Amino acid sequence: MSDLHPFSRDVAFTPAVKAVQARKGSRDAYARVEQGGGWRTKIDDNLAGFLAEADSLFFATAAADGQPYVQHRGGPKGFVKILDQNTIAFADYSGNRQYITQGNLTENPRAYIFVIDYAHRRRVKIWGDARVIEDDPALVKSLMPQGYKARPEQAILFRISAWDTNCPQHIPQKFDAADVAQALASRDARIAELETELAALKERAAPADQS
């Protein structure tokens, strides 16, 4: 079965959204695209590879009355784990104990994940339902990045309804400090190597002492 569902875009393209698209002239184009399938609903190799490199994401929820909330989640690369073709999960570390996300999920499971890769100017949008798992220490342990200095409190499971990629337009190119430091260290090592070679060449080229 294809991982495209003809109605998967409806998770974001509500009737109100479609009405605005129609008014602004983009509905016909999106409708034609939808005839060939909607957004992807299963994790493929591209999404798996993207998540494996992610060390940061934004996790959005909303209260029952629609009040939105966005929270950052991060960790070492690969902190987001793939459990099956439709489910991702990550350890939820102990923080400021406001529990806004967890409270929202108790009354409204709909959630959204936004992942952005500034270095390569890529972004992925993921819609789905989420739930907090508090009573499964084995699961939490399996999701905890090895050697990471954080205290896991619980796990968050996210079941994907649809996902899509965005074009790189307007994404500023930024690099992680660790990547920049590594690049600079490689440059400095190469400079030192060349300076040593140059000194050796000058020494061989110098005229012999005639005294």
**Local confidence pLDDT in tens for the 211 residues of the chain:** 344 444 578 888 888 999 999 999 999 988 887 877 778 899 999 999 999 999 999 999 999 999 999 999 999 999 999 999 999 999 999 888 899 999 999 999 999 999 999 889 999 999 999 999 999 999 999 999 999 999 999 999 999 999 998 888 888 888 888 889 999 999 999 999 999 999 999 888 887 665 5
Query: Given phi > 0 = left and psi -120 to 50 = alpha, else beta, which region is 170?
Result: left
Contact 88, 82 (CB under 8 A): yes
pLDDT of residue 99: 93
CA distance 3 to 8: 10
pTM of the complete model: 0.82
CA distance 38 to 118: 26
How far the first Cα of the chain sits from its last, in Å, is 88
